[in-house]
Structure 1
Amino acid sequence: MSYSKKRIEYNNKWPDNVITFSGQQDFYKLLEEKKVENIFKPIILPNIEDEQFQRLLSFKIDIYEQLPYRPDIAFDLAWRTFEAYSSYFATRWNIVGMWKILNKVSEDILINQINKNLSLSEALKNLLNSVPLQATEFLVRRLFETTSLSLKPQKAQIIDRFKDSLGQDFFDCFKAKYGELNSENQRKAGMLLQIIISGKKISLEGKTFQFDTLQILKLIINGLLYTYRNERFHGDSFSPFKSSKTKIKTYAHSYFCLISTYFFIAQLIYKHFESEIDLNDMIKSLNDNTDRFNLVFKNQLKK
C-alpha cells in the first residue's frame, strides 16, 4: 500500500484501529533491543514557587507526554519553553527579534556558565560530538537547495543566521565548495559541519578555520535548531514519522534537537535559580540524556 493511501487509512480508522507505520515499528523494536524505556529524562528540580518559573514549567512538562515516540513534537514544546525563557531574560536587554535574543542568551549566559565549569564544558562537548549527520545535512539542504518554493522566503534568513554564526568568509568558501547541491556534496558538507561542531580545525578552499565554543553554540541554536523549528511551525514538510522516508536516523535528528534544546533550557533554569539547583546533579542528568541517545543511535550518527 502506498503511504498516501496509508495516511488516508490512518485518518479513517482512528481511534478504533491505530495504524503503526514501518519506520515507527523499527524504532519501537530498537528501543526494546537497547532496553531503553526513554532516551530523554528531565533534570530534578527543587520546589520553586516563583510564578514566572511555574508558567515556564507548565510548558516544559508537556514535553514528557510526547515521549518516547514523538521527539519532534517534544522538540516543538521544548523550543517553545526555550524561547519563552530567553524572552524572560531579554526584558533587561534592548534587543528586538528572537534570533538576536537567542544570540544574546548565548553570549551573556550560556558561554559564561560553560566557561566557568569544566564538567559543564565537557558535557557540552559530549553533546556536540553526538550531532548526527542527518541533522547537519538538513541544514546544508536548507542553505543551498533551490527546489522548495515554500522555503524561499526563509532561505535568506537561514543564510543570515549561518553567516552570523560562522562568518561571511567561511560561508563564501562553504558555498563555493558545496553550493551546487547534490547527494555527494550534501553528505560531504554535512560531515564537514560535524567536524566543525566537534571543535576541530578544518581547511576549506585554501583557508583554515577553527571556531570557538560561542560560534558553535550559535550555529546549533540559530542554525540547526531554529531552522528545524521554523520548518515545522510553517508546515513546510511532511510529518517525519508518517512518511515512506522515515528511518531510524529520522528519529536521531529529532532526538538530538530535543536533547540539545533541553540542555540550553537547563542552563537558563540554573542561571535563574543558581542557589537552589545542584549543578553537578544537573550536569549528570544532561550527560545521561546524551549517553542514552548514543546508546540508541550510535549506528546512525554517520548515516
Structure 2
Amino acid sequence: MNSQDQRIQAHNNWPKREEFKAERAFRDRLASKGGDAPFKPISLGKDTDKTYHVCIGHFLDALEALPNRPDQFFDHCFRVIDESARPLFNKQGIKGIVQGLAGKLLSASNDDWQAIVDELGAHIPLMTCRYLAKRMLQVHGSTNDLEKQLSGRVEKCLTKKTYDAFAAKFGTDPANSCIERAASFLKLYLSGKPASKSRGSAYKLLDLHDPKNVPSYQQRIEFLLSVLLFTMRNERAHGGVLSAFRTSKGTLERYESYYFSMLCTYVFAAGILSLRGFGGVSSALIRKCATDNILLQKKFFA
C-alpha cells in the first residue's frame, strides 16, 4: 500500500492506530535501546513567576510528545521562545527574537554559548543540512512574499553576496548531487571550522579555507535560529507540509533530524529563561544539557 492510501486508511480507521514505515523503524530502534528516548531535560529550579510557569507548561506538553513525536516537542519549545523572549525584544516580534537572540546570549555568557554552538554545529545531521540547502535554493530570487521573508533572513545571516554565490554555485542544477554538495557546504559552514584546503573555486566567498569566510559565533547561532528553526516553525504552523513521519520519505534519518532540531529549540528556549533569570537556569547547565543530549542522540541513531 502506498503512503497516500495508508494515510486515508489511517484516518478512516481511527481510533485504531495505523503504523507507518518510519514509525515502525523508530519503534524497533527504541526497543533495541531499552525504550529510552535520546533526550534528557535540564533540572529546573523553583520560581513563582507566571511566565516561567507558562513555559514549564509548554515543556511538559513537549515531553508528553516523546519519544514518538519530536516534531511536536519542537512546536511546544518554539512557543516557549515566543512567549518568554518578548520582554527582551520590545515590539520586535518573533522575527526580531530569532535574529537578535544570538547577541544577547553571547553577551551574557560568551564561553558557554560558544561551546554550545560548537557542539550543535559539529553534530547537525546531514539530512537537516539537505533541508536547509533545498529551502535556500528554492527561495533565492523569488518574488513570492512568504519566500522573500526566508531569503531576506538568509541574506542577513550570510550577506547578499554570499547567498548569491551559494545559489549560483549550487542552484544551477536541481539534481540531488547538487543538493548534497550544498548540504555538505552548510555542514562545514555551521561547524565554524575552516576547510582543510582551498578548492580554488570561482566563488571566492564560499571558500571556507579563507578565515574571512568562516562565520562568527553570532552568525552561526542566528543561522540556526532564523534560517533553520524559524523556517521549520513557519512551515509547520502554516500547515503546508506533510506529517513528518507518515510519508514514503519517512526514515530513521528524519527522526534524527527532528531530534536535533527539537534539541536546538529546547536549548535556545532555556537560554531565554536564563536571560530572564528564571528558575536558576544557567548557561553552564544549558551547555551540559547540549553536550549530554548530543551524545545520547549519537548513540541512539548510530
Which TM-score applies when normalising by structure 2? 0.88
CA distance in 2, matches of 1:279, 1:144: 35
Q: CA deviation at 1:36?
A: 5.4
Look up the match of 2:204: 206
Q: CA deviation at 1:47?
A: 1.1
Matches for 1:128-277 after TM superposition, within 5 Å = 128-145=121-138, 152-180=144-172, 181-202=174-195, 205-207=203-205, 208=207, 209-273=213-277, 276-277=280-281
CA distance in 2, matches of 1:278, 1:122: 14
Could you tell me which runs of 5 or more consecutive residues in structure 2 were left unpaired when the two chains were aligned: 208-212
Asked if structure 1 preserves the Cα contact closer than 8 Å seen for 2:40 and 2:293, the reply is yes
Which deviations, in whole Å up to 9, do the C-alpha atoms of 1:89-136 show, x marking residues without a partner?
Answer: 223xxx5342123222221x212234144xx53233122211111111
CA distance in 1, matches of 2:230, 2:93: 13
Q: CA deviation at 1:275?
A: 8.4
Look up the match of 1:46: 45
Q: 1:269 to 1:96 in 2, by over 3 A?
A: closer
Q: 1:280 to 1:98 in 2, by over 3 A?
A: closer
| 1:32 aligned counterpart, secondary structure | helix
Look up the match of 2:210: none
| 2:280 aligned counterpart, secondary structure | coil
Asked if structure 1 preserves the Cα contact closer than 8 Å seen for 2:100 and 2:222, the reply is no
1:174 partner letter = F
In the alignment of these two chains, the number of paired residues is 288
CA distance in 2, matches of 1:129, 1:10: 38
Q: RMSD of the TM alignment (CA)?
A: 2.2
CA distance in 1, matches of 2:7, 2:106: 44
Picking from 74, 98, 102, the partner of 1:102 is: 98
Which deviations, in whole Å up to 9, do the C-alpha atoms of 1:244-264 show, x marking residues without a partner?
Answer: 110111111211110001111
1:289 to 2:293 alignment = yes
Which deviations, in whole Å up to 9, do the C-alpha atoms of 1:117-167 show, x marking residues without a partner?
Answer: 4xx532331222111111111121112237xx9x94422111110110111
Which deviations, in whole Å up to 9, do the C-alpha atoms of 1:180-210 show, x marking residues without a partner?
Answer: 2321111100110000000023565134411
Q: 1:33 to 1:201 in 2, by over 3 A?
A: same
CA distance in 2, matches of 1:155, 1:185: 21
Asked if structure 1 preserves the Cα contact closer than 8 Å seen for 2:86 and 2:93, the reply is no
Q: CA deviation at 1:14?
A: 1.6
Asked if structure 2 preserves the Cα contact closer than 8 Å seen for 1:85 and 1:268, the reply is yes
CA distance in 2, matches of 1:20, 1:243: 11
Look up the match of 1:11: 11
> Which is further off, 256-265 or 195-204?
195-204
Look up the match of 2:115: 122
CA distance in 1, matches of 2:254, 2:272: 28
Could you tell me which runs of 5 or more consecutive residues in structure 1 were left unpaired when the two chains were aligned: 299-303
1:111 to 2:106 alignment = yes
Asked if structure 1 preserves the Cα contact closer than 8 Å seen for 2:89 and 2:96, the reply is no
Which TM-score applies when normalising by structure 1? 0.88
